[in-house]
């Protein structure tokens, strides 16, 4: 009897659906849900686990093939998938909260992850804050035979510079690939109305200029040093796009933190997640699909950390590590001496030795930071707000251009990701295409130190939960230094607060 292939879980979108429907002889028209199910079913029947080699988009999905179960995650990890084995069954979901609440799972805190989280500010690697619950890494699938869950890697980022081409050649190739990707986005007539997030930077500006979004959205603050809304508005006006800005007050920001952490499912020390959540909620009032420009900095070298020279004996601990090993050990009441900051990075770092320093850093950031912080934020936050986030610049085809660009093409003086900016200049004025990176700043460092807003934070920092994990004298010294003017400690304070808030909600 022929085995029946069944798709038991899918989250995300398949961008190249038209080509796949032709190749798999899927008769159209179908609803979007029907065609995605048909693509995955017929694709798995034809290619088996190699089906992922034919998919472009953002996705996680699960397949039932007779007695076997498979779960897949897209190449760079735009969507999340968590799993565990309990009572002889494979439990899986894009929302870790669902697994933690399942009565078959014995919920326990993973203290090792707390220690790594304090080093980095985000849940790095494949372990989670729950014992025996794992995150499926990007470019991987898990196979379950009824007894054991075995993880297989089907893709990883590999940089191979091609010096036979000029920077101009690569810029032209980027433009061509961007048009292909956005052409596929336009072709989905079931999603006729789209909006876009817009900061002051080149990535979201190029996406807005080249795509079919009709309105740009951003967030703003009264604190001028953190507000990019004026730059975003100027870009929208140049491109003749509608524009909306959601102003965020400190009261609204702090009120939103618990819901954001709750829906995130794990603590995240990235303060921009709360602002993004507020932005997503605002967009959800008038749009269900929104574009965002994630991926470019990690593909093309957009962070200052990518330009810094690190000593040869060091390991690059991604572009975000907020607390030193010594400080974490002094802060924690029961530090585990076997947990080292370099543990999540060690295997990747050994693989990239011999590559140029930029390729080494980008490989680490794509496999750990991009999916562990950026996509955790964007995936879980947008989903919780009921909108579908499309990240066209995270498409594997664009990475396949970036991976061949020599490092010396990517920087010029203070400028970064130069080749991408050259491509963007075909759609943008030079002042926008080559504007210095601003990032997505949030005035939390100011608000956390302000006695008008920080009393609930202080109460949580020194509350009952905190006393289970942290040395109160060390924490008090950190807090006193911060509110006394040592602003550089704000990231530590926020990360600790985010964990304690999450712990009180979940345990």
169-180 tens-digit pLDDT: 999 999 999 999
User: H helices within 284-437, ranges in order?
Assistant: 296-300, 325-331, 343-351, 357-364, 375-384, 396-402, 418-424, 430-433
Whether residue 263 has a cis bond before it, omega within 30° of 0 = no
Strand partners, 144: 69, 149
The Cα-based distances of 476 to 120, 243, 459, 493, 504 in angstroms read 21, 44, 12, 11, 20
Query: What does 287-304 look like in DSSP terms, one character per residue?
Result: -SEEE--TTHHHHHT-SG
Locus of tokens 């379950």: 144
Helix (H) or strand (E) holding 93: strand 89-93
pLDDT at residue 3, as a whole number: 62
Q: Give the separation between CA 60 and CA 89, rounded to whole angstroms.
A: 19
Model's pTM, two decimal places? Answer: 0.96
- Sort 369 into a burial class: Cβ within 10 Å, 0-12 / 13-18 / 19+: buried
Neighbours of 453 (CB within 10 A): 17
Q: What is the pLDDT of residues 68-103, one digit of tens each?
A: 999 999 999 999 999 999 999 999 999 999 999 999
The DSSP bridge partners found for residue 244 are 217
Here the tokens at position 253 are 């920001």
Q: How many CB atoms lie within 10 A of CB 307?
A: 15
Structural contact between residues 115 and 335, judged by C-beta atoms closer than 8 angstroms: yes
272 CB-near residues (< 8 Å, 6+ apart): 377, 440, 441, 442
Q: Which residues contact 63 (CB under 8 A, 6 or more apart)?
A: 5, 6, 7, 8, 40, 44, 69, 70, 71, 72
Collapse the DSSP code of 58 into the 3-class scheme (helix H, G, I; strand E, B; otherwise coil) and give the result. strand
User: Bridge partners of 470?
Assistant: 332
pLDDT digits (tens, 9 = 90+) for 199-213: 989 999 999 999 999
Contact assessment for residue 250 and residue 450, using Cβ atoms and an 8 Å cutoff: yes
Q: What b/e sequence results for 204-216 when a residue is b if at least 16 CB atoms lie within 10 Å of its CB, and e otherwise?
A: bbbbbbbbebebb
pLDDT of 1: 38
At 205 the pLDDT is 97
Contacts of 59 (CB under 8 A, 6+ apart): 10, 11, 12, 13, 14, 72, 73, 74, 78, 79
pLDDT given at position 440 = 60
- What tokens does 389 get? 């986030």
**Strand-pair partners of 23:** none
What are the backbone angles phi and psi of residue 206, rounded to the nearest 5°? -65, -40
Residues of the chain where predicted confidence (pLDDT) is lower than 50:
1
Percentage of the chain lying above the pLDDT 90 cut: 94
Angle value at C-alpha 296, between 178 and 75, nearest 5 degrees: 85
């Amino acid at each position: 009897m022929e085995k029946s292939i069944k798709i038991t879980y899918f989250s995300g979108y398949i961008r190249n659906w038209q080509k796949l429907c032709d190749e798999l002889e899927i008769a159209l028209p179908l609803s979007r849900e029907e065609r995605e199910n048909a693509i995955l079913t017929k694709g798995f029947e034809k290619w088996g686990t190699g089906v992922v080699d034919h998919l472009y988009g953002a996705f996680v999905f699960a397949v039932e093939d007779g007695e076997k179960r498979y779960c897949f995650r897209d190449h760079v990890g735009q969507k999340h998938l968590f799993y565990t084995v309990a009572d002889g069954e494979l439990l899986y979901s894009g929302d870790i909260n669902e697994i933690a609440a399942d009565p078959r799972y014995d919920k326990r805190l993973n203290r090792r992850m707390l220690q790594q989280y304090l080093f980095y500010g985000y849940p790095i690697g494949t372990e989670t804050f729950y014992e025996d619950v794992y995150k499926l890494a990007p470019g991987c699938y898990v196979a379950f035979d009824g007894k054991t869950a075995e993880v297989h890697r089907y893709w990883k980022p590999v940089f191979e510079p091609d010096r036979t081409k000029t920077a101009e050649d690569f810029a032209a190739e980027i433009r061509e690939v961007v048009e292909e990707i956005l052409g596929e986005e336009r072709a989905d007539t079931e999603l006729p109305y789209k909006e876009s997030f817009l900061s002051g930077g080149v990535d979201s500006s190029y996406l807005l200029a080249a795509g079919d979004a009709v309105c740009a959205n951003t967030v703003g603050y009264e604190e001028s040093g953190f507000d990019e809304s004026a730059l975003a508005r100027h870009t929208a006006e140049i491109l003749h796009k509608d524009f909306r800005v959601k102003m965020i007050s400190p009261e609204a920001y702090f009120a939103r933190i618990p819901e954001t952490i709750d829906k995130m499912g794990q603590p995240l020390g990235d303060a921009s997640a709360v602002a993004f959540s507020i932005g997503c909620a605002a967009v959800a009032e008038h749009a269900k699909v929104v574009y965002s420009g994630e991926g470019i900095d990690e593909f093309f070298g957009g962070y200052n950390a990518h330009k810094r020279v690190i000593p040869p004996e060091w390991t690059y601990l991604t572009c975000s590590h907020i607390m030193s090993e010594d400080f974490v050990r002094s802060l924690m009441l029961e530090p585990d001496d076997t947990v080292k900051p370099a543990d999540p990075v060690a295997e990747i770092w050994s693989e990239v030795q011999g590559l140029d320093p930029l390729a080494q850093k980008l490989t680490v950031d794509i496999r750990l930071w991009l999916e562990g912080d950026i996509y955790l934020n964007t995936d879980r936050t947008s989903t919780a707000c009921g909108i579908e986030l499309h990240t066209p610049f995270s498409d594997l085809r664009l990475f396949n251009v970036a991976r061949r660009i020599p490092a010396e093409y990517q920087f010029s003086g203070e400028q970064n990701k130069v080749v991408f900016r050259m491509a963007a200049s075909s759609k943008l004025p030079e002042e926008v295409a080559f504007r210095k990176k601003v990032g997505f700043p949030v005035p939390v460092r100011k608000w956390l130190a302000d006695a008008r807003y920080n009393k609930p934070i202080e109460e949580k920092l020194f509350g009952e939960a905190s006393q289970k994990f942290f040395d109160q004298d060390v924490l008090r010294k950190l807090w006193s230094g911060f509110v006394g003017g040592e602003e550089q400690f704000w990231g530590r304070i926020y990360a600790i607060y985010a964990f304690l808030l999450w712990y009180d909600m979940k345990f």
